[in-house]
Every structure is written in structure tokens, then in C-alpha cells.
Structure 1
Amino acid sequence: MSRTRVTDAFDRRLIAPMMLGATLNPVNTSMIAVSLVPIGLAFGAPPSETAWLVSGLYLATAVGQPVVGRLIDVHGPRRLYLVGTALAGLAGVLGALAPSLWVLVIARVLLGFGTCAGYPAAMYLIRSEGTRTGQDSPASVLALLAMASQTVAVVGPTIAGVLVGLGGWRAVFAVNVPLAVACLVLGALRLPRHTAPGDGAARPRIDLLGIALFTVTLTTLLLFLMSPSAGHWYLVLVAVAAAAVFAVRELRTTNPFVDLRVLGGNPALVATYVRALLTFTIGYAFIYGFTQWLQETRGLTPTQAGLVMLPMFLTTVVVTALTGRHGAVRAKLVVGAVAQVVLVALFLVLGAGSGIWLLVLVAVVGGVGMGLGGLGNQNAVYHQSEPERTASSAGLLRTFSYLGAIVAAAATGGFFAHGADTPGLHRLAVFLLVVGGICLVVTLPDRSLARVGAAG
């Protein structure tokens, strides 16, 4: 009887490689936040150039996640996980030894591609374990994944502040080497070798043309969002044209990269993607905008700014741990959206002389919003997506999340055009209040959320 019980249980040996692999991408997205100023000083580069260290990884990740996710759906996660983490390790070496800013940008792009497999692979394995055991995977596993894939982004500035203080900005890149080695060892030892669906049966062909059109659409759109101006409107036209051709292609092909027919018939999933975009617009505007303001206006060092952000991470972990065992998502998403509106409202009372207690309060409220929003949207995608497209659906969730991050970066750059001062922070807050209001409008009337993850 004990042997049957073990066989029918979720394989806990998968948790370590799943969580560590899912950590690589988000921690790299946010660690750079407190490193931009010292990197700019080291290479004599203005903020307009160091911004590519942020945008390069976002672009690679937003394009790569759904592509790698689709490959995982078809071929299984093991090889893609191992190749990706190896590439992340090489990118860490390149960044640590980089002789110029643009070599650093290349390293960040490679990091973006190399860390694409971790999260889709984890979602795939959670789904496949449910199929193998004949029962839903524990909600606690999804909660752990939310911590690893989204919550850890919040602690990135704190980690980077310590690393910069100990070994300079190059340590922020070098830390990827031991992390990648750990992923390679755990992945090689614990990830199953045969997890692709329908072993022995003909596998669907990869829609290479659809992937190419998707890449052109997203790349041109993201390039415009990174530097929106009248002279760059041609990028929008290219994006619209490529999107139109992509839509026609995906509707006509037998095995599309993104099944628009299924997606069009699943408005709840589309709403979740939109909600993720809005949630992460506020979350990353907070991580980048607030952190820059702390250093340039409040006068904190990178290490001190990272420590101020630490309560946000701790709050996010606590919130995720307390609510993660409950599968229902509607309450999480509603409370998370309200918390983000409160967070942005607090921006309006901040000033150069604000006390540490107020900065910590802002961080705590931000942790509530990020924790509940990230966990709720992830669990919604897990339940709303087609089982055979779990990994690619998870990849699309990350794409929309990073679209939000890029909107946040563009907004932060626009409102901080003359420096991260208090008036700029207040203007950013007004913009984010609008974003938060839209998120509430998308969330509150959505009755389908009441059924997602509910018992029975």
C-alpha cells in the first residue's frame, strides 16, 4: 500500500529544479534595477543607453517564452531546460567579463533567451504530474512556483544591492554562473527523460512561419514601446501588418503556434493575460521607478535602496504562503488589484524628506499587490488553458507580463526624463492610478473567476 501511495503522489524530487529554473528569469529582470547607475558610471554611458540592459532582456524573454513553451509542449521540458540554463551560465560569464556596455547588452539578451525555459517547463511538469497521478497537483506546488517565478523578482534589488556592495556591478552577472550550474546538475539528475505527450505517436509539426511572424510583430511593437516617438510610428505599422498576416496564418494552419480559434473561444484566458499586463505595469513601475527615486531623490545608496525593498519581498512571500494552499483565485485578484491602487496613491504623498517608516509601508503594500496578483493570474492560466498547451500558455502569460514591464519602463523613462525627482514620481503615480482602475474594471465583473480553482 505504501508503494501505491508514493506512486500516486506528486514527485517532490521535481520541485528543486522546477523552482530554481523558474527563478533565473525574474531575478535577472529586477537585479539590474540598482545596477544601472554604477554601470553607467563605469562606462560613461547615459541612462538612454543603459536602459537597453533592461529592454534587451525584456525583448528576448517576451519573444522567447511562448516559443520555448510551445517546443516544451511538443518535445518535453528536459533538453530545453538544460540547454537554456547552460546558455544563462555562459551569459553570466560574458557579463562578468564584459569590456563595454554593448557587450553587457548582448549578455542580457542571452540571459533573456537562456532563462525562457524554466517557467514553462515547471508549468508543464505540474500538469504532467497531475495526468500521471490522476489527481490535481497540490495547490502548494503552484504557490511555490509563484514565489519562484514572480515573487523572487521583488527581492532582486535587495540581492543586487548586496552584490554591488560586495563585489561591484559585475557580481550581478557572475551570480548567474553558480545558479546555472545548480540548475544543470539538478535538471540532469531529476528531470524525467520521457515526458513529451504521445511518446511513439507522430508529434505535431512546429509552426516555424507562425513563430517568425509572431517574433516580428512583438519585436517591432516592443521596440516602439521602448522609445515611443513620432519618428518611430513606422514600427507600429510594421507590427500591425505582421500581426494581420500572423492571424491569417494561424487561423488557416493545422497546427498553429498560437491557436487563435481556441484563444478566441476562451475570453476568460484572454482577460487573465490583460490583467497580467496591467498588474505587472504597476509592479515593475514600482520596482524601477521607486528604486531610482530612492537613490536620486531620497539619497540612498544602492545597498540601502535594496534593503528598503526587502519588506516588499518578505510580504510577498508571506502573502503567497498564506493564500497559496487555497485554489480559489477571485479574492486574490480583487484584493491584489485594490492593494496596487493603494500603493500608487501612496506615491502621491512621498517627498524627499519622507521617513523610512513610510518607505517601508509603501514596500509592504506593494508586496501584497504583487503576491496576490502574481499567484492569482498564474493559477488562473493553469486552470483556464488547454492541457496540451500548458507550457505555451504559461509562456504567453510571461509575454504579457513583460509587455507590462516594458510599458512600465517606457512610462518611467518618460516621467523621469529630467531625473527621478518627486514631481516625476507623482506624474507616474497618476498614470498608474489609471492603470490600476482599468485592472479593477477587468477583475471585478469577471464572474468566471469564481469558478477557477474552487473546491469541487
Structure 2
Amino acid sequence: MIGAPARAQGFDRRLIAPMILGSVLNPVNSSMLAVALVPIGAAFGAPPSQTAWLVSALYLATAVGQPVVGRLVDTYGPRPLYLIGTGLVGIAGVLGALAPSLPVLVAARVLLGFGTCAAYPASMHLIRGESERTGQDSPSAVLAALAVANQTISVIGPTLGGLLIGLGGWHTIFTINVPLSLACLVLGARRLPRLAARRRTVTRVDLIGMVLFAGMLTALLLFLMSPQAGHWYLPVLALAAGAGLTWRELRVAEPFIDLRVLGGNLPLLATFLRQVLAYVTAYAFLYGFTQWLEQGRGLSASVAGLVLLPMSLTAVAITAVTGRHEQVWGKLLVGGLTQLAGCAALLLVDQASPIWLLCGLALLIGIPQGLNGLANQNTLYHQADPARMGSSAGLLRTCTYLGAMIASAASGAFFSRGADTPGLHELGLFTLTVAALFLAVTLLDRSVRRIGSAQHH
């Protein structure tokens, strides 16, 4: 129970500010970097194949850490994990701003990845706890606020990053984490409940399962970063760790990932798959298209950020307008179709394309970015086991970062000779295939058609 009787009949709105501010720390650091890769590469004399580690390092750390921290949130409550995580973000911001070399900068991004792991699963845990406390099973307005905030930051990040770089150089995209971290610490300490909204009896944490999961995912993502025949041992290690994880989780009393429940929840597995596919295309645009704007089209970081502004405005507007509606089928269908169209449009642009056409493409791709993530988040809320809401939300974020890692690997492969137009067209063909798979999964999943048509309990 949280706070005073005045809040007993509805969602405790004092929780919204720390929830939103904490959950946007990851997307703001993900998206601002898109326009900083070229300046950072110039500062350290590093080619795109090396600066790609700045992208991969954060997503590797976050993909591994999200479900682990989410499980700890389920076990110990959101407050301590939230405060520890947001505190690490401030430390990482200082380290990044003062980094004397690219490896130190990569280390700062790893620390940022771990630091930003806690806030989103903590927020979803709090939302579920407040829903149970108030008896309001579908807090769609609160879920929408969280989605709007994350979507807004994700899509305005490149524009914000470009402006910050124009004002103070690439260091500013790290420095900004210090005041953000302090704000989270103050709000979290003052407003988050000292006890979990739902008391649990778990006294042991499945550390072996967490280590096996981390090993499996790390080996897989390291291979995706550099898929070469000489790295054959990485998928072998991933398979071995996965086999060990499966054996362990089916036998332990309190598993890190309850494979029996998860394996019997095919709709939730489909949601995880859609999340991966949606964010392969989203991050291919965020990183691949943005790098092409700067190198292939010859725009400055600030102008490239402004070209992406229509994407920002479209995504934010669509998320805000549709966020309060529980129904997800229409969102996924329209998002899938417009995503397909946006990927196809990549094949039509070249170094002579006018700015208005590039802005139009950005506007088009803003539509699925405003719909798909929101729909998957709302779907997860209805499909996941309430007792594992934190870890399920963490797994959803892991799927997001897995999509980002695949997009980063694809961009690195197609831009091996630089972010030129032929490489962009190859990236377009790849994302077109991924977008078609997303639409196919959506059409085959009949369960999403029922969400929003009636109350789910």
C-alpha cells in the first residue's frame, strides 16, 4: 500500500514522474548517439566498424541486464533497483564525458546499459501493483503515458543530440546524463514505495540461471556483431549455455525464467518475436539511415537530426492519439503495413534525393514507430504472468535490444565500405524482408484481435 488515503481510490500519480523519467534514460542515450557516431569517429580516428561498438556495447549490456534486473525487481521491489540503476547512469555520464579514448567511451556505454536496466521493469511492476491495489485492471492511460514518453524520447533523440553536439560537441550527449540521474535519484527517493507493491515470499535468486542466460545472450550477440566463420565458437557457446539454462530452469523451484509457463504462452512468445522484428527496422533507420544522411548525402549532424524531425513529430502524435485505446490489432496491422512501405522507400533514395523527399520518408517511418512498440507493450501487460511482470517487461526490452543488435550488425555489414548509397539499398532490402516477417506474424496471431474487445482479468 502506498501513501495516504487520498490516493486509495486511484493510481498514485506521484509515481508517474519517476517512472517516466527513469524509463526514458535508455532511449535517450540510444537515440542521441545516432548523430554522434561520425563526430566521435573523427575525434578518435576510428572507422564505422569501431564506433559501432558504442551502439553494440550499450545494447549488449542492456539486453543481458534487463530481465536479470527485472527478476530482482519482482523479488526485492522496484525502489532499491531503481535507485542503484539511475545512480550508475550519472557515473557513466561523467566517465563518457571525460573519456580519453574510444575503449573508455565503450566502457561508459556498457555502464550506461547496466544503469538503465532497472527503471522500465520497475515501472511495469509498479503499474501492475497499483492496478491490483485499486482494482482497475487496465490502467491504459498510465501505460499510454509511459509509451508516449519513451516514444517521444526515442524519436526526438537524434534531433536533441544534433543540437547538443552543435552547442558543445559530442561530449554533451554524455554530460546530459548527470542532471537526469540526479533528478531520478531525488524523485525515486521521495516518491517510490519502500516496500514492493506486492509482497513476495521469494528468498532465493536463481543466480546460476541468470549466469547461463547472460552467457547465452552474450555469445549470441557477440556473434551478431561480427558474423564470421572464424567466430564459429560463439554460436556453439550460445547453444551450450542455452541447453544448460533449459536443464536448470526446468528443475529449480524458483527459476529465473519459468520455461514451462513461457513455453505454454504462445501469444507472449509471438509478442516477443514481433518486438524483435519491429526494432530491427526501427534501429536500421535510426542508425543506418542517419549515418547515410551524414556520409552518403553529406549533411551535418545537426541537419541530419532536423531531417528526422518529421519522424519524431509523427510518432509522438500517433502514440498520443492512440495510446489510450486498449485495442492493439489495428495498431499492429497499420504499423506493419507502413513499416513495409517505409523499408521499400529506402530503395528509392540516393545522394541526389531532395531534402523534402527525405523528410517525407522520415514522416512515413514515424507511423510504425508510433504504433508497434506501444501495441506490443499493451499486449505484454495482458499476456504476462502478474507475478513476473518485471522480468517479462525486461524480456520485452531484451527483444528490443536484440533487434537493435541485429540492425547494428546489418548496418556494419552493408556499410563496410562506408555509409554509401549502394549500402543503404542493401540495408533496405534486408529491412524489407524483416518488415514482411513482422506483418506475417501479426496476421497469424489471432490472440491480439481479442485484446481491447473486452476486459482482461
Counterpart in 1 of 2:291?
292
Q: Which amino acid aligns with 1:110?
A: L
Counterpart in 1 of 2:182?
181
* 2:308 partner SS: helix
Provide the C-alpha distance between the structure 1 equivalents of 2:178 and 2:136, rounded to a whole number of angstroms: 37
Counterpart in 2 of 1:7?
8
Q: Which amino acid aligns with 1:228?
A: P
1:263–1:270 contact (8 Å) kept in structure 2: yes
* 2:444 partner SS: coil
Counterpart in 1 of 2:339?
340
Counterpart in 1 of 2:433?
434
Counterpart in 1 of 2:212?
213
Shift of 1:48: 1.9
1:327–1:455 contact (8 Å) kept in structure 2: no
Shift of 1:452: 1.9
Shift of 1:315: 0.8
1:129–1:137 contact (8 Å) kept in structure 2: no
Counterpart in 1 of 2:350?
351
Q: Which amino acid aligns with 2:141?
A: S
Counterpart in 2 of 1:364?
363
Q: Does 1:147 align with 2:162?
A: no
Q: Which amino acid aligns with 1:378?
A: Q
Deviations along 1:172-201, one digit per CA (max 9) or x if unpaired, are 1000000001101111111111125326xx
Counterpart in 1 of 2:202?
203
Provide the C-alpha distance between the structure 1 equivalents of 2:242 and 2:395, rounded to a whole number of angstroms: 15
Shift of 1:105: 0.7
Q: Does 1:159 align with 2:146?
A: no
Shift of 1:103: 0.8
2:151–2:316 contact (8 Å) kept in structure 1: no
* 2:95 partner SS: helix
Deviations along 1:7-56, one digit per CA (max 9) or x if unpaired, are 21111111110000000001111211111111111111222221111111
Deviations along 1:316-338, one digit per CA (max 9) or x if unpaired, are 11101111111011111111111
Shift of 1:420: 1.1
Deviations along 1:174-230, one digit per CA (max 9) or x if unpaired, are 00000001101111111111125326xx32421000000000000000000001100
Counterpart in 1 of 2:392?
393
1:119–1:149 contact (8 Å) kept in structure 2: no
Counterpart in 2 of 1:376?
375
Unaligned runs of 5+ in 1: none
2:151–2:315 contact (8 Å) kept in structure 1: no
165-174 or 427-436, which moves further after superposition? 427-436
Deviations along 1:137-186, one digit per CA (max 9) or x if unpaired, are 43121111112334421211111100110000000100000000110111
1:119–1:395 contact (8 Å) kept in structure 2: yes
**If the length of structure 1 is used for normalisation, what is the TM-score?**
0.97
Unaligned runs of 5+ in 2: none
Provide the C-alpha distance between the structure 2 equivalents of 1:156 and 1:4, rounded to a whole number of angstroms: 39
Q: Which amino acid aligns with 1:295?
A: E
Counterpart in 1 of 2:453?
454
* 1:444 partner SS: helix
* 1:205 partner SS: coil
The structure-2 alpha-carbon separation of the partners of 1:8 and 1:196, relative to structure 1 and needing over 3 Å to count, comes to closer
Alignment of 1:231-310 (within 5 A): 231-310=230-309
Counterpart in 2 of 1:313?
312
Q: Which amino acid aligns with 1:375?
A: L
The CA RMSD over aligned residues, in Å, is 1.2
Counterpart in 1 of 2:136?
135
Provide the C-alpha distance between the structure 2 equivalents of 1:26 and 1:368, rounded to a whole number of angstroms: 18
Provide the C-alpha distance between the structure 2 equivalents of 1:387 and 1:56, rounded to a whole number of angstroms: 31
Provide the C-alpha distance between the structure 1 equivalents of 2:258 and 2:151, rounded to a whole number of angstroms: 26
Provide the C-alpha distance between the structure 2 equivalents of 1:138 and 1:144, rounded to a whole number of angstroms: 10
* 2:335 partner SS: helix
2:96–2:171 contact (8 Å) kept in structure 1: yes
Deviations along 1:112-143, one digit per CA (max 9) or x if unpaired, are 00010111011111100001101124312111
1:77–1:121 contact (8 Å) kept in structure 2: yes
* 2:417 partner SS: coil
1:72–1:120 contact (8 Å) kept in structure 2: yes
1:416–1:425 contact (8 Å) kept in structure 2: yes
1:204–1:255 contact (8 Å) kept in structure 2: no
2:284–2:411 contact (8 Å) kept in structure 1: yes
Shift of 1:351: 1.3
Provide the C-alpha distance between the structure 2 equivalents of 1:55 and 1:204, rounded to a whole number of angstroms: 34
* 1:15 partner SS: helix
- Runs of 4 or more off by more than 6 Å in structure 1? none
Q: Which amino acid aligns with 2:389?
A: T
Counterpart in 2 of 1:86?
87
Counterpart in 2 of 1:60?
61
Q: Does 1:443 align with 2:422?
A: no
Provide the C-alpha distance between the structure 1 equivalents of 2:238 and 2:83, rounded to a whole number of angstroms: 32
Provide the C-alpha distance between the structure 1 equivalents of 2:91 and 2:439, rounded to a whole number of angstroms: 42
Provide the C-alpha distance between the structure 1 equivalents of 2:47 and 2:426, rounded to a whole number of angstroms: 23
Provide the C-alpha distance between the structure 1 equivalents of 2:7 and 2:288, rounded to a whole number of angstroms: 48
Shift of 1:445: 2.0
Q: Which amino acid aligns with 1:191?
A: L
1:279–1:404 contact (8 Å) kept in structure 2: yes
